Amino acid sequence: MSVYQGEIDWQALARQGVSFAFIKATEGSGSQDPNFRQNWQQARQSGLRAGAYHFFSFESGGDTQAENFIRAVEPFDGMLPPVVDVELYGSKKLHPPAREEVTEQLTLLLKRLEEHYGMRPVLYATGSAYGRYLAGGYEGYDIWIRNVYFTPRLKDGRDWTFWQYTDRGQLDGYAGEEPYIDLNVFNGTEEFAAYPESQTR
């Protein structure tokens, strides 16, 4: 969920069988979603398990990106792990950065977030970004993969934890310029045993 969904009725979403939500908090080293604080508070009050995500930028350092996220996202008991969204965008689709450069900054970001929140972040990726930057590495990190056509099979054979299976979901409870929302499934227990509420700071 992000500013593009406009005003969100989190109670309405919870009544439609939604059990968790990740909310966009930050992008790069300086951008924060203007609706994040409101969504963060209201999602917590709705009873949903909630987490925040950061859109990784190839143009800035991992340390400053981590500080941007930390400034925006106040931890609470029961929050889901931070998510780092890695995908090619804009001109990077035609001219992707080298894996070595991305690994250096992404690793800085992940380590800083884990130190601060006491939880290992989840890595979100499109199939192309996964194959280029994550496959064969980042052992121990849960993977959230986007595949809106087929049940995903990761290039290196590892299991996925979250799967974004559509970007054209429609539910009651929001009225922004974007009529669709991303819908995802969790490859785990209904009680989120993999992310116990007591592990947060």
Please give the pLDDT value at position 198: 57
Closest CA to 171 of 12, 11, 50, 22: 12
| CA distance linking residue 62 with residue 165, whole number of Å | 28
Residues paired with 183 in a beta bridge: 166
Distance of CA 135 to the CA centre of its chain: 18
The model's confidence at residue 1, banded by pLDDT at 50, 70 and 90, is: low
Residues paired with 185 in a beta bridge: 163
pTM, 2 dp: 0.94
Yes or no: say if 10 and 179 are a contact pair by the CB < 8 Å rule.
no
Amino acid at position 156, single letter:
D
Please give the pLDDT value at position 62: 98
Please give the pLDDT value at position 175: 79
pLDDT mean over 76-80: 92
pLDDT mean over 25-32: 97
pLDDT mean over 37-46: 90
Structure-token match 């994040």, residue found: 36
Handedness of CA 125, 14, 19, 200 (dihedral sign): positive
Please give the pLDDT value at position 197: 78
| CA distance linking residue 21 with residue 101, whole number of Å | 31
Digit-coded pLDDT (tens) for 85-129: 999 999 999 999 999 999 999 999 999 999 999 999 999 999 999
Token digits of residue 2: 């992000």
* Three-state helix/strand/coil letters over the chain: CCHHHCCECHHHHHHCCCCEEEEEEEECCCEECCCHHHHHHHHHHHCCEEEEEEECCCCCCHHHHHHHHHHHCCCCCCCCCCEEEECCCHHHHCCCCCHHHHHHHHHHHHHHHHHHHCCCCEEEEEHHHHHHHHCCCCCCCCEEEECCCCCCCCCCCCCCCEEEEEEEECCCCECCCCCCEEEEEECCCCCCCCCCHHHCC
Active site residue 190: no
User: Which member of 7, 27, 87, 197 is catalytic?
Assistant: 87
